[in-house]
Structure 1
Amino acid sequence: MYKVLIIEDEESIRKFVKINFERNNFKVFEAPSGEEGIKTAQKEDPQVVILDLMLPGIDGFKTCEILRSYLPNIGIIMLTAKGQDMDKIMGLEFGADDYMVKPFNPLELIARVKSLLRRIGAPKAEITNILTSGQIKIDSFSMNAYKEDKEIDLTPKEFMLLKTFMENESKAFTRDELLNIVWGYEYFGDTKIVDVNIRRLREKIEAVPSKPEYIETVWGVGYRWKKH
């Protein structure tokens, strides 16, 4: 099991990212500051660090520099503010491998971590990008989906919904959970958008959308993927 360390002072963001990594079989460690993050990294030796730029005490740049000096092979993805191009450039100069701009989609962050693990030499057998359930197959790296080996034309949000379901067979998701996972924690729109996208997804993958074989409605809760 791969280990990821999240260094982020905003607890709500930290917890949200942690949940999504744990759903993808990562062992997750947390730290609210650069100082705590460095101590945790030295103790737990994670493969990847998710590092916020704006931290109390020593900032993300200095934290990145220290982490890189102690753990030269560690993967570092820096979180930056929207539109701060200089922060991105400086982050890379201080040793970050990649960056993401807030607000970000957690599924994209996980995909970037998996890509980074491949680049830094993680064993390929441990990083699975192909998921299959019944006649449905997805490739999480290319973001392609197939039914009976025929490609399905999905929007990015439809693909993320499908991926979330297939990675969590038989788990019942509420609309709010799906909204947070697929649309992001800073999305404050109507949860009906989940129902609309579920309906469109069913039309593309179900033989009879009104009698779904894959995406089941859980009355009073939300939706779940039927195990095949």
Structure 2
Amino acid sequence: MNKILIVDDEPNILLSLEFLFKKEGFRVFIARDGEEAMGIIKENHPELVILDIMMPKVDGYEVCRHIKENIEGVKVVFLTAKSKQQDVQKGMNLGADLYLTKPFSNKDLVSKVKSLMN
């Protein structure tokens, strides 16, 4: 079973994505901030992380940097309201595998996540 971690400080997004990906057959972990996310990554070794950028404690950029520098093979998908070209470029330069902006299509997100994991 594919394991994913969803990281977002917005409870509605977090819970709806958790439900969506569980329904699609994924084993889902959730975190409400970057600090919690890094602990879950260390303990549970997800194959993919869906990551917001603007979060308390540790932002998504720092979580992505940590993943790409320390853990091999984990895919990172930014899912964020930050849509300026410089934000996209920063995320991709940190090693993100995909950068999507909110609002988003659930169908499109699931499709792209499945594609990254194959």
TM class, shorter-length: over 0.9
- Say whether residues 1:56 and 2:56 are aligned partners: yes
How far off its partner does 1:112 sit?
Answer: 0.7
Unaligned runs of 5+ in 2: none
- Say whether residues 1:97 and 2:67 are aligned partners: no
**Per-residue deviation, residues 176-213 of structure 1 (Å, max 9, x unmatched):** xxxxxxxxxxxxxxxxxxxxxxxxxxxxxxxxxxxxxx
In 2, are the aligned partners of 1:33 and 1:57 still within 8 Å (CA)? yes
- Say whether residues 1:32 and 2:21 are aligned partners: no
Once superposed, which parts of structure 1, at least 4 consecutive aligned residues long, lie more than 3 Å away?
A: none
TM-score norm. by structure 1 comes to 0.50
In 2, are the aligned partners of 1:80 and 1:88 still within 8 Å (CA)? no
CA RMSD of aligned residues (A): 1.1
Letter in 1 for 2:48: V
Partner of 1:133: none
How far off its partner does 1:22 sit?
Answer: 0.7
How far off its partner does 1:86 sit?
Answer: 1.2
Partner of 1:87: 87
Letter in 2 for 1:93: N
For 1:1-228, what aligned pairs fall within 5 Å after superposition? 1-81=1-81, 83-118=83-118
How far off its partner does 1:82 sit?
Answer: 5.5
Q: State the alpha-carbon separation in 2 of the partners of residues 83 and 110 from structure 1.
A: 20
Unaligned runs of 5+ in 1: 119-228
In the comparison of the two structures, how many residue pairs are matched?
118
Deviates more, 1:11-20 or 1:73-82: 73-82
**Per-residue deviation, residues 51-86 of structure 1 (Å, max 9, x unmatched):** 001111121111100011221210100012263221
Q: State the alpha-carbon separation in 2 of the partners of residues 38 and 67 from structure 1.
A: 8
Larger radius of gyration between Structure 1 and Structure 2? 1
In 2, are the aligned partners of 1:80 and 1:87 still within 8 Å (CA)? no
In 2, are the aligned partners of 1:77 and 1:98 still within 8 Å (CA)? yes
